[in-house]
Amino acid sequence: MIESRDGLAGVSVRFGVVVFPGSNCERDTLHVLTDVLRQPADLISHESTDLSGYDCVILPGGFAHGDYLRAGAIARFSPVMRAVERLAADGRLVWGICNGFQVLVEAGLLPGAMLQNAGLRFVCRWVHVRVDADDTPYTHSTSSGAVLRMPIAHHEGSYFVSPDQLARLEQRRQIVLRYCDADGAATPSANPNGSISSIAGVCNEARNVFGLMPHPERCAEPILGGVDGRLLFESVLSRTSERHAATDGDSRPRALSAAPGTGVAGG
């Protein structure tokens, strides 16, 4: 575990949390954003078509559309995904957690594919992950080689890419997190699902789209048994506030009509 940063008072980043039929972690994520970090955030319907008011949009964990066909295969066709694609193309942040990661892979916003876990069983437990890239907006408050402790809960979490794709990911430093032991070694026994090269999280080439299988929202408060997940949220706050400071205040996108944290925003 590494300590979270102080000095984020006064930072304001507008978040949106997409709700698909079958999502079940949107309230947990919203709680961290609004109650723990005191940030403006809305729940966003999967039918929304305008996300222009948000700095960061999160696709949360769950079982979107019941994971029929395969995890994320139906959700990727939701109307909101076109808006997510536009947001990513605009350089803003798109973050997929667990099922959200699966949706981003299905949508082609992140490389690779998700397979069923090795052993074909649902895995729900705490794991360690090593930060292999600390130059993303999501790991900005960590350091390369840092070991974080976070929980996982998934059945289709075995990340896969071809050997050529893996080489490209390595070359471009798109592998952000790897499963490891408490000392940071990426050993086979520390890999909970059989992911190739122990990959737990990846980003796109532009580094603004990020997906991971562990649940940082479930370890952002001491009462939950760990706080390492908070570092990822704080990273987004820190990096996005820097971006705002570097641009004219009037150019910051406006929020959608729903009051922060009070309901579901529509497009």
Q: Where are the domains of the chain?
A: 15-265
Q: Which residue is catalytic, options 128, 140, 154, 215? A: 215
Query: How many other C-beta atoms lie within 10 A of the C-beta of residue 266?
Result: 13
Please give the pLDDT value at position 243.
74
Please give the pLDDT value at position 11.
67
Average pLDDT on 58-78 reads: 95
* Fold observed for domain 15-265: Rossmann fold (3.40.50)
User: When comparing pLDDT for 243 and 238, which is higher?
Assistant: 238
Average pLDDT on 242-254 reads: 56
Q: pLDDT-derived band of residue 260, with 50, 70 and 90 as boundaries?
A: very low
Please give the pLDDT value at position 50.
96
Average pLDDT on 196-217 reads: 98
Q: Which residue is catalytic, options 98, 180, 203, 219? A: 98
Is the per-residue pLDDT at 179 higher than 50? yes
Averaged pLDDT of the chain: 90
Structure tokens at 171: 């070359």
Is residue 217 annotated as part of the catalytic site, yes or no? yes
Please give the pLDDT value at position 8.
60
- Which of 2-11, 65-74, 186-195, 226-235 bottoms out in mean pLDDT, i.e. has the lowest? 2-11
Q: Which residue is catalytic, options 106, 156, 217, 234? A: 217
pTM: 0.89
